Structure 1
Amino acid sequence: MSVERDDHAGNWFQAGGQNYARFRPEYPPALVAFLAGASADTRFAVDVGCGSGQLAAQLGAHFDSVLGLDPSADQIVHAPVTERVRYAQAPAEHLPVPDRSASLVAAAQAAHWFDLPAFYAEVRRIAKAGALLALVSYGVPKLDEALDERFLHFYRDEIGPFWPPERQLVDRGYADLDFPFAEFPPPAMAIRKAWSLAELMGYISTWSAVKHALEQGHGRVIECFATNLAACWGDPETKRPVTWPINMRTGIV
């Protein structure tokens, strides 16, 4: 890899809310259609831990009103505001939502960070009769055969020690989370993308484990992986398949 490419690889890992908004994969239309169809009605949806608004923006096509909530101002400043979708800074445990008003309460790739008992108390307070609660997560992405082995070695062994303990809940598809609601099984779904090397690296830059490794002075491990993957990838503009399984806990409040 040339010096110029190495410098560019370093830039991939300068992550923030802007990178999060740009590189986190959007959810498939089937997921949002399912959430709308299973909700009490389509008047008002609340997306808790909304990040930069990936799910909230899509819910706006199905619900009269959507409120995205996140404790990080850096995240929501990059979220797309529309006529039906607005955002506010708030934690999952203290939701600025009126009692018995929400038709859907969703949390996408966020519930593993919550104080669940406090969050669930808020869900029961804001949910109208028959409202849907959906905890959505997506697991470890799968790459094509030429890349997957190197990628998994990085994910599990090299960057693995820098993941917070909560990441294990995501890897297990939220199966270990307490979920004291009238649960029902959701349909099987996946996120499917065709990405260039830069797009994949941009997504990896949003990982909390990458941020922790950089903060602790282990950037060389990350740069080595970037160099190795680039060599396996070939032309960096080539689009390669990336697939994430979607896991959900869904129930009626």
Structure 2
Amino acid sequence: MKDNFSKQASEYSKFRPQYPDEMTNYLVSFVKNKGVALDIATGNGQIAHKLSRFFETVYGIDISQNQLDNAISGENIIYKIAAAENTFFKNQEFDLITVAQAVHWFDFDSFYKEIYRILKPEGIFAVLGYGLFSTNADSDKILRNFYYNIVGQYWDAERKYLDENYSTIPFPFDEIVAEHFENNLTWTFEELIGYLETWSATQHYISKNNQKPLDLIYNDLKASWQKSDKKVTFPLLLRIGKLK
């Protein structure tokens, strides 16, 4: 598993969009027993924190200590360093296992083998994520130029799975057809820029060129944003399955 987000962990925690309660409530409705849940590649812990309202104990694992240091705390949440493909948990330990906006970074074969080992026979496994957001037409034009042209070559190859809405990832489970959700937000310009700075492609561009790619669109985007309603819509991705 790659670690593209440690160095901007505090920004990731601050600017990455949350998943709406409607979506997590829907997911949890498929889980019979609310004993122990696991959020893999938990990052800032937002999913772990949401699950902590339903489960007796929630574990959140990540390969980045910096991410875990910025994660949302809770009395029944336990954060640990661990790789998705090689955890320290017992066999058949979890009623629910989630992975949000991260499954595309994993070695699928070894990851799914681990899920089959640690998920209870009646447990639920879920992949969550979000695609490229949309906003007003003028800002969208600027942002899509940024996404595809300015930082396009700096996306890791695995990004294609998100562009394909996780429809092409291996998913060796009995799949439950899930409802579709979206996340509707209103952002300040600072929140918009903060989110764009958390993109792995933005950080790769900076590392390679020693300059910020956002500088290339900053003024045009700011002018566009100030004239807009500042509304943002993220398409949400959700795949839910049981062990075969």
Provide the TM-score with structure 2 as the length reference.
Answer: 0.93
| Aligned position for 2:116 | 124
What is the rounded CA distance, in whole Å, between the counterparts of 2:210 and 2:146 in structure 1?
Answer: 13
| Alignment map for 1:162-201 (pairs within 5 Å) | 162-201=154-193
Kindly indicate whether the alpha-carbon contact (under 8 Å) linking 2:206 and 2:213 is maintained by their aligned counterparts in 1: no
Q: Does 1:51 align with 2:43?
A: yes
Instruction: Kindly indicate whether residue 15 of structure 2 is the aligned counterpart of residue 23 of structure 1.
Output: yes
Kindly state the Cα deviation for residue 156 of structure 1 after the two structures are TM-superposed: 1.2
Moved more, 71-80 or 219-228: 219-228
Determine if contact 1:39/1:104 at 8 Å carries over to the other structure: yes
SS in 1 for 2:122: strand
The letter of the residue matching 2:72 is P
- Correspondence for 1:231 among 212, 223, 230: 223
Tell me how far 1:145 sits from its aligned partner.
2.2
Which residue number in structure 1 is paired with residue 4 of structure 2? none
Does residue 69 (structure 1) correspond to residue 58 (structure 2)? The answer is no
Runs of at least 5 residues in structure 2 that lack an aligned partner in the other structure: 1-6
Aligned match for 1:79, one of 58, 71, 81:
71
Work out whether 1:143 is the aligned partner of 2:135.
yes
> 8 Å contact 2:15–2:194 — kept in the other structure?
yes
Q: How many angstroms does 1:75 deviate by? A: 0.6
> Which ranges of structure 1 fall in alignment gaps of 5 or more residues?
1-14
Residue in 2 that maps onto 1:12: none
- Structure 1 residue 227, shift from structure 2 partner: 2.1
Partner in structure 2 of residue 240 of structure 1? 230
Helix, strand or coil for the counterpart of 2:232?
strand
Superposition RMSD on alpha carbons, in Å? Answer: 1.5
1:220 Cα shift? 5.1
Residue pair 1:52, 1:75 contacting (<8 A) in 2 also = yes
The size of the alignment, in residue pairs, is 237
Cα deviation 1:19-47 (Å, max 9, x = unaligned):
00000111000111112111242111100
C-alpha distance in structure 1 between counterparts of 2:20 and 2:223, whole Å: 30
CA displacement 1:143-165 (0-9 Å, x = unmatched): 12231111111111111111001
- More displaced, 77-86 or 206-215? 77-86
Structure-1 residue corresponding to 2:87:
95
Question: Kindly, what percent of the aligned residue pairs are identical?
Answer: 31
**Residue 197 of structure 1 contacts residue 239 of structure 1 at CA under 8 Å; is this kept in 2?**
no
Residue deviations 1:43-93, cap 9 Å, x none?
Answer: 111000111111111111111111011001111110011112121111101
Task: Give, in angstroms, the shift of residue 234 of structure 1.
Answer: 2.0
Question: 1:95, 1:31 → 2: CA distance?
Answer: 27
Letter in 2 for 1:54: Q
TM-score by length of 1: 0.90
Task: Give how far 1:180 is off.
Answer: 0.9
Which runs of at least 4 in structure 1 moved beyond 4 Å after TM superposition? none
Distance 1:157 1:40 in 2: 46
CA distance in 2, matches of 1:219, 1:69: 33
